[in-house]
Amino acid sequence: MIKTASIHLRPDDAGSLALVGGIIAFLEERGIATLLPDIELFADGALKKHRADTMELVAGSELVIVIGGDGTFLRTARLFAGKRAPLFGINRGRLGFLTEFSPDEAFHHLDEVVAGKHPVSERSTLDASLIRDGKELRTATVINDAVISKGAFSRPISVRLELDDAFLNCYSGDGLIIATPTGSTAYSLSAGGPIVIPSIDSAYVLNPICPHMLAVRPMIIPAQTTLRVRIVSDFENLLLTIDGQEAIPIEGEDEIRVRGSEKKVHLIQHPARDYYEILRRKLGWGKNVNGDG
């Protein structure tokens, strides 16, 4: 039985306050306590008493409710990577790959979730580490993708790639995307990468961005393989961006190490909507010549 749930949304999303209040009342009727992030949006009024710091949110949540789009979902998922608490995504905009439930249907499905009747999918993650002068400066959990990019420079950057200490290639281009199966439908897809079904948790995508060699193509890499990317270009303002949200400055001769992580993210699935339906809707597949689906 779930005893405590937390609700997460964008810090400036005042339009969701009524929905938050409704969810809290719904949960309280079922004897479930609610935690909210300690943000300015909840500083006044009846919601103030539910605020908790990040440590309490992560430790105390048995169910995680996310209101917003896939960006908000990703930010929350990174907090709970490696935890057992499943994430329930309510999308206030267009149908998302991660936020699968609409506000109109949320309460019906939450009732089912509380009763333990909804399926939960497990998504794989990556660990991305920044190495400088032989020292590990930073390690981040990757839900969608890690992107090495050249910032504002118009010149290409050069990178050297190794897989488990075996040299693979050295090439120039606009950057490099390393994507999880979950993230294969994000930036990597726009850059010509393959779609990897999220249930495949034993691989990740290596996708060069605009390489200056026609023979360079995206690759599917086994999750247990360690990818080493060494920045050959001596540029400033190079970035390692995690899930499109966290930008880590990198320098020439830095090394980025990426490998499949033991941390998993647990998503509550829509019982009437599978991944392939979401693909069809988001990508416009399955339409005949008359425009009917």
Residues taking part in catalysis: 70
Contact 171, 214 (CB under 8 A): no
Query: What string of DSSP letters covers 203-221?
Result: EEEEEEES-SSTT---EEE
Contacts for 63 with CB less than 8 Å, ≥ 6 apart: 2, 4, 5, 6, 32, 85, 86, 88, 113, 114
Contact 194, 220 (CB under 8 A): yes
Residue 223 DSSP class: T
E runs forming strands in the chain? 4-8, 33-37, 51-52, 63-67, 87-90, 120-132, 135-142, 145-149, 157-163, 166-173, 175-179, 203-209, 219-222, 227-231, 238-242, 246-250, 255-268
